[in-house]
């Protein structure tokens, strides 16, 4: 399968990419790792007239700690994230980075590119939504910073303006006593998740002081499950409170019935993944080291 | 690698190292890496299976990182270092991974084998003593429709042993 013909432009810097994007207009797309864009172009679901390749720019694959946050550069790959200090400090980042697709895709796909694509079944958005994440954007006329929740507007649609590129993501480091977990269910490694759950909890003794819950692949955008989080906050974590919150999470979405399963099946997945994720998150909040990753059928 | 030269007819002039040799090639911007490898460089050991980033038959190492070459554009490899299955054998001697696949019946029809072996090489370069779980995860992006995978796991484990010794 061939993509439709396009013109190729290699960016020397992100600034250069933004300038070229402004010049070429909306028919131009940015190419980073290409792990989503190239398949979309081969299937002709997307046929940009021009590609601006940022993949040859040096020094953009950083993930570094600065002022209590982790800065994720535009070209940091999933593999870079899985091996980063950020993923050791914030285990939910590791859950996601080490489980996305397969080794080959993780070696080339980027975290920032995944957010820029805003695929409803993407893994990163739910994870980064339960953390404090800012999106740093760059254009000819300057920079701006947006919260991730406002950045993702619809399926495959972000708040990026014409001529604007994503420069980096900034994820606030979590505090002691906070633990998270991301679990996705998929039929085999290379496919998208059927449903996924991200949870980040802050505990005080047995009591959940703060909770954040986000669901992936069950709607056109990731779902921030506020009612589910509220059901956990202020309560002791036990089978009963977790079951109540799991029910609230399942009720907060209307998953589309498709080749990955029926609405009810996906709701059942959400309940189960949620319960497991809360248990792992709680153990991590108490300082335990727990390794989990995506579930396969 | 800030610029790429373009010929008058819109073709991109690429320079890269393929299995240790410097090569030049002219491609359309939309040429896939697997097409460059098979059709232009005449290295048909890298297979096209699903052509949708699923099966891993087209797996190669680009700059030391395994990649599905049906899901990269050829131009993404410009200036890079590529290893295909043809580059595993050195001076008539099989790579330990090739030797292990042969000895452990790690293939039946052989279609997935080039990609499978490249994924194994990538694993063993990063993890010389892989656990069974690590081997399973390492080839999760490579489909085999014949073997049921058991002999492939055995082959990779045997290769790890051979490379250690």
Return all residues near A16 (Cβ < 8 A) that are at least 6 apart.
Answer: none
CA B97/CA A36 separation, integer angstroms: 30
Same structural domain for residues B120 and B149? Answer: yes
For residue A280, what is the domain's CATH number?
3.30.390.50
Residue B10 confidence (pLDDT)? 86
A294: pLDDT strictly greater than 90: no
- pLDDT bucket at A297, cuts 50 / 70 / 90: low
Q: List pLDDT tens digits, range B57-106.
A: 999 999 999 999 999 999 999 999 999 999 999 999 999 999 999 999 99
CATH number at residue A21: 3.30.43.10
User: Within 10 A of A228 (CB to CB), how many other CB atoms are there?
Assistant: 29
Residue A296 has pLDDT above 80, yes or no: no
For residues A149 and A225, membership in a common domain is answered with: no
Q: How many domains does chain B have?
A: 2
**pLDDT at position A172 over 80:** yes
Same domain, A48 and A76: no
Across the interface, whether the CB atoms of B140 and A3 are under 8 A apart is answered: no
Q: Which residues of chain B are at the A interface, by a Cβ-Cβ cutoff of 8 Å?
A: 1-4, 6, 10, 12, 28-30, 32, 51-54, 56, 59, 65-68, 70-73, 75-76, 78-79, 119, 122-123, 137-138, 140-142
3-state class of A20 per DSSP? helix
Domain boundary residue, one of B33, B63, B87:
B87
pLDDT of residue B8: 82
Rounded mean pLDDT of A93-109?
97
Does a structural domain hold residue A58?
no
Q: Kindly report, residue by residue over A176-206, the tens digit of the pLDDT.
A: 999 999 999 999 998 999 999 999 999 999 8
Residue B3: per-residue pLDDT? 81
Per-residue confidence (pLDDT) for residue A1, from 0 to 100: 87
pLDDT score of B44? 98
Say yes or no: A28 contacts chain B, CB-CB below 8 A.
no
Q: Identify the CA nearest to A232 among candidates A282, A196, A182, A268.
A: A282
| Count of helix runs (H) and strand runs (E) in chain B | 5, 6
Give the model's pLDDT for residue A147.
98
pLDDT in tens, B105-163: 999 999 999 999 999 999 999 999 999 999 999 999 999 999 999 999 999 999 999 99
- Assigned domain for A26 exists: yes
Both B74 and B113 in one domain: the answer is no
* Residues of B with Cβ-Cβ distance to A42 under 8 angstroms: 32, 51-52, 70
Q: Can you tell me the mean pLDDT for A67-76?
A: 97
Residue at A44 is within a domain: yes
Rounded alpha-carbon distances, angstroms, from residue A82 to A30, A73, B61 = 24, 14, 19
In sequence order, the β-bridge partners of residue B23 are: B16
Tell me the residue range of the domain where A128 lies.
Answer: 63-172
**pLDDT for residue B2:** 59
The enclosing domain of A136 has a CATH number of 3.30.465.10
Residues of B in contact with A43 (CB under 8 A): 52
The pLDDT tens digits of the residues spanning B37-55 come to 999 999 999 999 999 999 9
What's the total number of domains in chain A? 3
Same domain, A21 and A110: no
Domain carrying residue B66: 5-87
- What is the C-alpha to C-alpha distance for residues B73 and A56, in angstroms, rounded to an integer? 13
Residue pLDDT, tens place only, A232-268: 999 999 999 999 999 999 999 999 999 999 999 999 9
pLDDT at B1: 54
Instruction: Provide the CATH number for the domain around residue B60.
Output: 3.10.20.30
Whether residue A108 lies within 8 A of chain B, CB to CB, comes out as yes
A23 and A81 co-located in one domain: no
Q: Are residues B82 and B106 part of one domain?
A: no
- Based on the domain organization, do B17 and B82 belong to the same domain? yes
A82 and A49 co-located in one domain = no
Residues A204, A252 within the same domain: yes
Which of B38, B53, B117, B149 has the highest number of chain A CBs within 10 A, making it the mutation to test binding with A? B53
Interatomic CA distance for residues B83 and B64, integer angstroms: 8
The predicted structure's pLDDT at residue A95: 97
Of B28, B56, B87, the residue that ends a domain is B87
Residue A251 domain flag: yes
Residues A14 and A105 in one domain: no
> CA-nearest residue of chain A to B55?
A190
| Whether A102 contacts chain B with CB within 8 A | yes
Question: What is the Rg, in whole angstroms, of the alpha carbon atoms belonging to chain A?
Answer: 19
Q: What is the mean pLDDT of residues A92-117?
A: 97
pLDDT 10s digits, A112-163:
999 999 999 999 999 999 999 999 999 999 999 999 999 999 999 999 999 9
Whole-number Å distance between alpha carbons of A88 and A147: 24
Looking at CA atoms only, how far is residue B35 from chain A in angstroms?
Answer: 10
Residues β-bridged to residue A170: A71, A134
Mutation pick from A103, A291, A292 vs chain B, by most beta carbons of B within 10 Å, is: A103
Domain boundary among the residues A34, A53, A72 is at A53
In this structure, the answer to whether residues B57 and B9 fall within a common structural domain is yes
User: Domain ends where: B58, B87, B116?
Assistant: B87
Q: Which residues of B touch A12 (CB under 8 A)?
A: 2-3
Whether the pLDDT of residue A75 is over 70: the answer is yes
* Residue A40, in any domain of the structure: yes
Do A267 and A166 lie in a common domain?
Answer: no
User: What is the average pLDDT value for chain A, to the nearest integer?
Assistant: 96
Signed CA dihedral, A90, A91, A95, A100: sign only: positive
* A2 domain-assigned: no
Q: Does the pLDDT at position B165 exceed 70?
A: no
């Amino acid at each position: 399968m061939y993509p439709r013909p396009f013109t190729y432009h290699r960016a020397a810097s992100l600034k250069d990419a933004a300038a070229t994007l402004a010049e070429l207009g909306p028919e131009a797309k940015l190419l980073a790792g290409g792990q989503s864009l190239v398949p979309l172009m081969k299937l002709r679901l997307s046929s940009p007239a021009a590609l601006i390749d940022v993949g040859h720019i040096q020094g953009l694959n950083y993930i570094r700690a600065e002022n209590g946050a982790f800065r994720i550069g535009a070209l940091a790959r999933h593999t870079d994230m899985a091996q980063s200090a950020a993923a050791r400090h914030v285990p939910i980042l590791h859950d996601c980075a080490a489980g996305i697709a397969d080794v080959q895709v993780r070696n080339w796909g980027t975290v920032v590119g995944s957010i820029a694509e805003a695929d409803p079944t993407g893994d990163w958005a739910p994870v980064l939504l339960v953390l404090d994440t800012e999106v740093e954007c760059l254009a000819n006329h300057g920079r701006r910073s947006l919260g991730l929740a406002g950045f993702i507007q619809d399926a495959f649609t972000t708040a990026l303006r014409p001529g604007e590129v994503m420069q980096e993501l900034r994820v606030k480091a979590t505090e002691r006593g906070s633990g998270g977990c991301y679990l996705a269910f998929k039929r085999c490694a290379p496919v998208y998740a059927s449903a996924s759950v991200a949870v980040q909890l802050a505990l005080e003794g047995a009591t959940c002081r703060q909770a954040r819950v986000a669901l992936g692949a069950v709607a056109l955008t990731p779902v921030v499950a506020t009612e589910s989080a509220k059901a956990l906050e202020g309560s002791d974590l036990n089978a009963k409170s977790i079951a109540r919150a799991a029910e609230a999470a399942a009720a907060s979405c209307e998953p589309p019935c498709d080749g990955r399963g029926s609405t009810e099946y996906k709701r059942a997945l959400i309940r189960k993944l949620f319960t497991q994720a809360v248990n792992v998150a709680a153990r991590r909040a108490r300082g335990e080291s727990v390794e989990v990753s995506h579930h396969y059928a | 690698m800030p610029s790429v030269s373009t010929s008058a007819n819109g073709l991109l002039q690429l320079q890269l190292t393929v299995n240790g040799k410097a090569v030049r090639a002219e491609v359309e911007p939309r040429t896939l890496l697997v097409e460059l490898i098979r059709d232009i460089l005449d290295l048909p050991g890298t297979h096209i299976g699903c052509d949708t980033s699923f099966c891993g038959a087209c797996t190669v190492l680009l700059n030391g990182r395994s990649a599905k070459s049906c899901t990269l554009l050829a131009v993404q490899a410009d200036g890079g270092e590529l290893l295909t299955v043809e580059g595993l054998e050195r001076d008539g001697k099989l790579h330990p991974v090739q030797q292990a696949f042969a000895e452990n019946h790690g293939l039946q029809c052989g279609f997935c084998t080039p990609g499978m072996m490249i994924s194994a090489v990538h694993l063993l370069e990063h993890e010389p003593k892989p656990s069974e779980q690590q081997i399973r995860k390492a080839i999760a992006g490579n489909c085999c429709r014949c073997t049921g995978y058991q002999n492939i796991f055995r082959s990779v484990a045997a290769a790890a042993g051979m490379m250690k010794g």
